[in-house]
Amino acid sequence: MIFSILAIGFLSIFKSLDFPYSTLLFESTTLIPFGVSWLLKGTYTWKFSKYDVLRIMVKFFR
């Protein structure tokens, strides 16, 4: 995530190295790991849920 943020800043400074949709690419590579980590942190209590769907989802990630 830190690399992606630094790459956006670096490409903003050096416009000659910039390529189409570079900011979108690096923001996506930052948001996807953040979303997965947030999902995993939030699923901690799902294994104690009474709903089978939530327990199945937790098994996939853990």
More confident residue, 2 or 39: 2
Q: Exposed (0-12), middle (13-18) or buried (19+): which is 21, by Cβ within 10 Å?
A: exposed
Domain ranges of the chain: 2-61
Q: Note the pLDDT of residue 51.
A: 67
pTM over 0.85? The answer is no
Residue 15 and residue 29 in contact, taking contact as beta carbons nearer than 8 Å: no
Q: Note the pLDDT of residue 33.
A: 83
Question: Distance (Å, rounded) from C-alpha 52 to C-alpha 41?
Answer: 19
- Summarize pLDDT for 12-56 with one digit per residue, the tens: 888 787 788 888 888 888 888 888 778 777 666 666 666 677 667
Q: Note the pLDDT of residue 47.
A: 64
